[in-house]
Amino acid sequence: MNCQVKDELVSQLIALNNKLNLLSPDLVHGDEERAEVQIQRENLYAEIKHHRARGHEGKPCPAARPDYASHL
Ligand SMILES: [Zn+2]
């Protein structure tokens, strides 16, 4: 079963991961930006976790799999 909300959250997470990979250590403000992206990523993880557990009117997401977030 698919869930659009989950797909959206995951694509946001993937975009953040890509952004993190593209941030060069040579950039002047690279460390700051990376730290910021890390925080955004942690927030997204929490959001995905919450959505999986009770994102559908208090019920678990039908698209969630137990090992789902560990691949990301
Ligand atoms: Zn869902």
- Name the token pair of 60: 């678990």
In order of 6, 39, 58, 59, the CA distances from 23 in angstroms are: 26, 15, 37, 37
Identify the band that residue 1 occupies on the pLDDT scale cut at 50, 70 and 90. confident
Top pLDDT among 33 and 47 is at 47
Q: For residue 44, how far is its CA from the centre of ligand 1 (angstroms)? A: 14
pTM over 0.95: no
Q: For residue 29, how far is its CA from the centre of ligand 1 (angstroms)? A: 36
Question: pLDDT averaged over the chain?
Answer: 86
Top pLDDT among 22 and 64 is at 22
